[in-house]
């Protein structure tokens, strides 16, 4: 890979990491304090590996105590904001005080080092403090997104072997009160044994009924602190801090493990190098604590950096599309971490709501989760931010804990190529290979693999060492590489371009086209807000493109529009991109983390059962896609 476009500061880091990876990560680790230094930086045995072996640390202590001890107790640590207009500020001193209290309460409840605790709560201060408290006492939290239903929750409680479940009576979304406690009751009816109790935070005036003998109110839980220690446990670097289900849709959830040591070093380093996180930031990650982004970049990395983190509960466009911009102005937000799905959501309303608010505090916007298609990038970069600050894409997964491919903005910014996620960050060694293990040259598409473990890479799936080895390290025969499952190519400048999941590539007359390229082409037409495409089997060409499109406000489906869309795709991608049909829908099937579920669209056009859809955001989207598909078939046969 060429390093021509890489600024000298970044280049020297990349070269140092290549020459001596262990020395490189040891230096990165020394940016944080340790209770005891490691005996060995890295040890590997087949698919299993350990970082900073023998060292003692505690992720919570480095996120909180350290700043308070350094005299920064009065700095705002957490600002909670919600769609209902609530605001709550906790300083480092106040957050540590709350976390200490919850730690003592956890001990009073009988929670011990290594015990798993399920957190099925909205993104609110109590939930964040609880996560930190679990980590403080050496327990392992397992946060389940509070938008999942009872089945998905039951699976995750079972897989984690949690003894305790923490929940709230309700969360608020789009002005609606969503009952959570009822879902916990239903889920626990499906889990036999293991769970000793449920702790309930009552937030609504009505509250929710408690089951005698099993459920505990938040106040009764707090009362358990009496006589208990609130000190942190010194943890060996490889002990788990938390487990989190990957966003995959396999029937049995995969629980990725993240540790006290390696994970801490990885997210802290990436936070500085990729996002430029610094103590005077007001950092707003618009994600949710239910996802890895919420763990790493709402909670842990911003607090490790000593900055102010904003936690938001609710829908970004509620009560209206100006909500995010109002928060930016009010809190003087300096950095936003968001997702392409959020950008496309806001883009639907146009830039006018943003332009009404002062965005001058912003220094950068970073974005991950899916490809940030150039039209969406351009809208945010040019129309909303008027090219004043960069919009930076970066790539990672639940399993990687933090960014792997990105733009080292915090060290020295690379020129941005819209549509590319950037380059491997310092210390990351990646390659693109065919499924048979042959390395692809520049511009050739294959599967992105990672050549060696880095500190925040998940070292295990909870309780499933064989599955971990098979799913990640043994997928490419004869090659000892970590399999990401994503199709990608690297251009001659070393930039990585993602094309979708490897199993979603469309093959038209022997040409391989990534779903992302086609979706991006559709998004270039001003009428299109969102696009999801899949391959449909075709006798002549192997496959043709079947597209599902959501139109922006003010546009209606018509024969003329359909033709314009086909012309746009042809102009962008050439005649190889044969579009079989365009279906218009009002929403796409998406996971609750906002990723388009193309396999569901494929099941629609093949007339098959969609399989496991427990992670879907809105089941109505499947029915809608089916109806659009049926209507189109009826029109075509006329
Ligand atoms: P999750 O584990 O839920 O964070 O999902 C990880 C998956 O999201 C990756 O394997 C990619 O398929 C996709 N993804 C995340 N970030 C990006 C990005 N910047 N560009 C393209 N795909 C991305």
Ligand 1 centre to CA of 394 (Å) is 9
Q: With beta carbons less than 8 A apart as the criterion, state whether 89 and 75 touch.
A: no
Give the three-state DSSP class for 549: strand
**Which pair of structure tokens corresponds to residue 614?**
């427990």
**What is the number of the ligand 1 atom nearest to the C-alpha of 399?**
2
Split at pLDDT 50, 70, 90, the class of 148 is: confident
How far, in Å, from the CA of 353 to the mean position of ligand 1?
A: 28
Q: Which residues of 252-284 are buried (b: 16+ CB within 10 A; e: fewer)?
A: ebbbbbbbbbbbbbbbbbbbbbbbbbbeebbbb
Return the ligand 1 atom nearest residue 591 CA: 3
State the Cα–Cα distance between residues 626 and 550, nearest whole angstrom: 15
What's the gap between Cα 57 and its chain centre? 25
Cβ–Cβ contacts within 10 Å for residue 98, how many?
21
Q: Candidates 486, 489, 497: which one to mutate for ligand 1, based on the most atoms within 8 Å of Cβ?
A: 486
**Interior CA angle at 585 toward 172 and 563, to 5°?**
145
Give the per-residue pLDDT at 324. Answer: 98
For residue 351, the CA-to-ligand 1 centroid distance in Å is: 26
Residue 61 CA to its chain's centroid (Å): 24
Ligand 1: lining residues by beta carbon, under 6 Å:
246-247, 292, 368-371, 393-398, 421, 484-486, 498, 501, 593
What stretch of H or E contains 126? Answer: helix 125-137
The preferred substitution site among 396, 425, 505, 514 for testing ligand 1, maximizing ligand atoms within 8 Å of CB, is 396
What is the CA(374)–ligand 1 centre distance, in A? 16
Top mutation candidate among 291, 369, 485, 516 for ligand 1, by most atoms within 8 Å of CB: 369
- Looking at ligand 1, which residue's alpha carbon is closest to its atom 10? 397
Q: Alpha-carbon torsion 509, 515, 517, 523, what sign?
A: positive
* pLDDT on residue 545: 95
Total domains in the chain come to 1
Query: Which atom, in ligand 1's list, is nearest to the CA of 484?
Result: 10
Classify residue 8: in a domain, yes or no.
no
Tokens 């388009």 correspond to: 596
Q: Is the pLDDT of residue 411 over 70?
A: yes
**Residue 96 within any structural domain of the chain:** no
Phi/psi region, residue 214 (left: phi>0; alpha: psi -120 to 50; beta: rest), is: alpha
Q: What is the pLDDT of residues 234-288, one digit of tens each?
A: 999 999 999 999 876 556 789 999 999 999 999 999 999 999 999 999 999 999 9
Q: For residue 319, is the peptide bond before it cis, meaning its omega torsion is within 30 degrees of 0? A: yes
The alpha carbon torsion through 614, 249, 162, 130 (nearest 10 deg) reads -90
Taking CA atoms only, the protein residue closest to ligand 1 atom 8 is 369
Q: Which residues contact 354 (CB under 8 A, 6 or more apart)?
A: 322, 324, 325, 346, 384
- Which three-class secondary structure state does DSSP give residue 193? coil
Residue in this structure with the two tokens 């220094």, named with its chain if needed = 363
What's the pLDDT tens digit per position in 392-403?
999 999 999 999
pLDDT, the chain, mean: 95
- Arithmetic mean of pLDDT, 149-178: 94
Residue 322 alpha carbon to ligand 1 centre in Å: 27
**Average pLDDT for residues 416-422, to the nearest whole number?**
97
Q: How far is the CA of 396 from the centre of ligand 1 (A)?
A: 5
Question: How high is the pLDDT of residue 357?
Answer: 98
Q: Judge whether residue 319 has pLDDT over 80.
A: yes
pLDDT winner (highest mean) among 191-195, 266-270, 564-568, 576-580: 266-270
Going by alpha carbons, the residue nearest to atom 5 of ligand 1 is 397
**433, 458, 368, 439: which is closest to 405 by C-alpha?**
368
* Of 116-125, 195-204, 541-550, 629-638, the least confident: 629-638
Tell me which of 512 and 314 has the higher pLDDT. 314
In tens, the pLDDT along 42-98 reads 999 999 999 999 999 999 999 999 999 999 999 999 999 999 999 999 999 999 999
Tens digit of each residue's pLDDT (9 = 90 or more) over 109-132: 999 999 999 999 999 999 999 999
Report which DSSP code applies to 596.
B
Report how far residue 562's alpha carbon sits from residue 556's, in angstroms, rounded to the nearest whole number.
Answer: 10
β partners of residue 243: 142, 257
Report the nearest atom of ligand 1 relative to the CA of 498.
21
* pTM for this prediction: 0.92
For 286-348, give the DSSP string. -S-TTSHHHIIIIIIHHHHHT-EEEEEES-TTSS-TTHHHHHHHHHT--EEEE-HHHHHHHHT
**Helix, strand, coil % (nearest 5) of the chain?**
35, 25, 40
Cα of 485 vs centre of ligand 1, distance in Å, is 10
Query: What sign has the CA pseudo-torsion 382, 577, 505, 616?
Result: positive
pLDDT of residue 248: 63
Q: Say if residues 335 and 362 touch (Cβ distance below 8 Å).
A: yes
Q: How far is CA 594 from CA 291, 325, 409, in A?
A: 11, 20, 25
Question: Where residue 5 falls among pLDDT bands split at 50, 70, 90?
Answer: confident
Residue 607 lies in a domain: yes
Domain span at residue 612 reads: 505-637
DSSP E strand stretches across 65-148: 76-82, 87-91, 116-120, 140-143
Which tens digits make up the pLDDT trace of 167-217? 999 999 999 999 999 999 999 999 988 999 999 999 999 999 999 999 999
Q: Please give the average per-residue pLDDT across 473-489, as a whole number.
A: 95
Instruction: Determine the distance separating the centroid of ligand 1 and the alpha carbon of 370, expressed in angstroms.
Output: 5
Distance 501 CA to ligand 1 centre (A): 9
3-class state of residue 432 by DSSP: strand
**How many residues belong to the chain?**
638
Cβ contacts of residue 477 below 8 Å, gap of 6+? 436, 437
Question: What spacing in Å lies between the alpha carbon of 404 and ligand 1's midpoint?
Answer: 11
pLDDT digits (tens, 9 = 90+) for 321-366: 999 999 999 999 999 999 998 999 999 899 999 999 999 999 999 9
Residue 179 lies in a domain: no
DSSP type of residue 251: S
510 has a pLDDT exceeding 80: no
The answer as to whether 243 is a domain residue is no
Compute the distance between CA of residue 99 and CA of residue 347 in angstroms, rounded to an integer.
Answer: 38
Ligand 1 atom at minimum distance from 247 CA: 3
User: Is residue 630 in some structural domain?
Assistant: yes
Which residue puts its alpha carbon closest to atom 7 of ligand 1?
397
CA distance from start to end of the chain? 54
Give a yes or no: residue 85 inside a domain: no
Burial 362-388 (b: 16+ CB within 10 A, else e): bbbbbbbbbbbbbbbbbbbbeebbeee
Residue 251 is predicted with a pLDDT of: 60
What residues are paired with 538 via a beta bridge? 542
Question: Hey, whose CA ends up nearest to atom 9 of ligand 1?
Answer: 397
CATH of the domain at 537: 3.30.300.30
613 falls within a domain: yes
- Nearest atom in ligand 1 to the alpha carbon of residue 595 is 8
Ligand 1 geometric centre to CA of 340 (Å)? 11
- Give every CB contact of residue 71 below 8 A, 6+ residues apart in sequence: none
């Amino acid at each position: 890979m060429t390093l021509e476009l890489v600024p000298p500061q970044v280049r020297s880091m990349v070269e140092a990491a290549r020459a001596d990876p262990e020395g490189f990560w040891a230096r990165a680790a020394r940016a944080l304090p340790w209770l005891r230094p490691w005996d060995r930086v890295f040890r590997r045995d087949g698919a299993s590996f350990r970082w900073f072996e023998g060292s003692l640390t505690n992720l919570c202590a480095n996120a909180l105590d350290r700043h308070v001890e350094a005299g920064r107790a009065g700095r705002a640590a957490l600002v909670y904001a919600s769609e209902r207009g609530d605001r709550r500020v906790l300083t480092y001193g106040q957050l540590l005080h709350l976390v200490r209290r919850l730690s003592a309460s956890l001990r009073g409840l009988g929670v011990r080092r290594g015990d798993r605790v399920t957190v099925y709560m909205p993104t609110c201060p109590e939930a964040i403090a609880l996560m930190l408290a679990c980590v403080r006492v050496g327990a392992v939290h397992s946060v389940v997104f509070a938008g999942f239903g009872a089945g998905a929750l039951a699976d995750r409680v079972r897989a984690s072997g949690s003894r305790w479940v923490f929940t709230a009576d309700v969360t608020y979304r789009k002005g609606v009160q969503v009952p959570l406690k009822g879902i916990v009751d239903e889920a626990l009816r499906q889990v036999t044994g293991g769970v000793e109790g449920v702790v309930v935070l009552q937030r609504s005036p009505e509250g929710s009924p408690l089951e005698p003998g099993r459920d505990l109110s938040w106040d009764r839980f707090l009362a358990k602190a009496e006589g208990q220690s609130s000190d942190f446990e010194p943890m060996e670097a490889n002990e788990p801090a938390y487990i989190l289900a990957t966003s995959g849709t396999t029937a049995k959830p995969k629980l990725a493990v993240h540790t006290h040591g390696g994970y801490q070093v990885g997210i802290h380093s990436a936070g500085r190098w990729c996002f430029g996180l610094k103590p005077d930031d007001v950092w707003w990650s618009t994600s949710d604590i239910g996802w890895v982004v919420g763990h790493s970049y709402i909670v842990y990395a911003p607090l490790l950096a000593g900055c102010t983190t904003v936690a938001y509960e609710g829908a970004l466009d509620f009560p209206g599309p100006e909500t995010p911009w109002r928060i930016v102005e009010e809190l003087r937000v300096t950095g936003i971490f968001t997702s392409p799905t959020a950008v496309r959501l806001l883009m639907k309303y146009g830039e006018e709501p943003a332009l009404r608010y002062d965005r001058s505090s912003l220094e950068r916007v970073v974005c991950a989760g899916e490809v940030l298609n150039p039209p969406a990038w351009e809208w945010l970069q040019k129309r909303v931010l008027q090219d004043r600050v960069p919009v930076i894409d970066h790539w990672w997964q639940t399993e990687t804990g933090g960014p792997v491919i990105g733009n080292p903005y915090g060290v020295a910014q690379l020129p941005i190529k819209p549509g590319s996620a950037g380059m491997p960050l310092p210390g990351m060694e990646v390659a693109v290979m065919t499924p048979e293990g042959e390395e692809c040259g520049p511009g050739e598409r294959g599967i992105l693999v990672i050549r060696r473990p880095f500190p925040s890479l998940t070292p295990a799936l909870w309780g499933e060492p064989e599955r971990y080895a098979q799913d990640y390290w043994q997928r490419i025969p004869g090659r000892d590489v970590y399999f990401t499952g994503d199709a990608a190519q690297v251009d001659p400048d070393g930039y990585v371009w993602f094309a979708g999941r490897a199993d979603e590539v469309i093959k038209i007359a022997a040409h391989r086209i990534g779903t992302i390229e086609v979706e991006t082409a559709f998004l270039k037409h001003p009428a299109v807000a969102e696009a999801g495409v899949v391959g449909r089997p075709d006798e002549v060409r192997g496959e043709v493109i079947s597209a599902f499109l959501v139109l922006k406000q003010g546009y209606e489906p018509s024969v003329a529009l359909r033709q314009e869309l086909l012309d746009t795709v042809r102009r962008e991608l050439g005649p190889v991109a044969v579009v079989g049909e365009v279906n218009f829908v009002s929403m796409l099937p998406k996971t609750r983390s906002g990723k388009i579920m193309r396999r569901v669209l494929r099941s629609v056009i093949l007339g098959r059962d969609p399989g496991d859809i427990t992670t879907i955001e809105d089941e109505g989207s499947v029915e809608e896609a089916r109806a659009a598909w049926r209507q189109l078939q009826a029109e075509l046969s006329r």
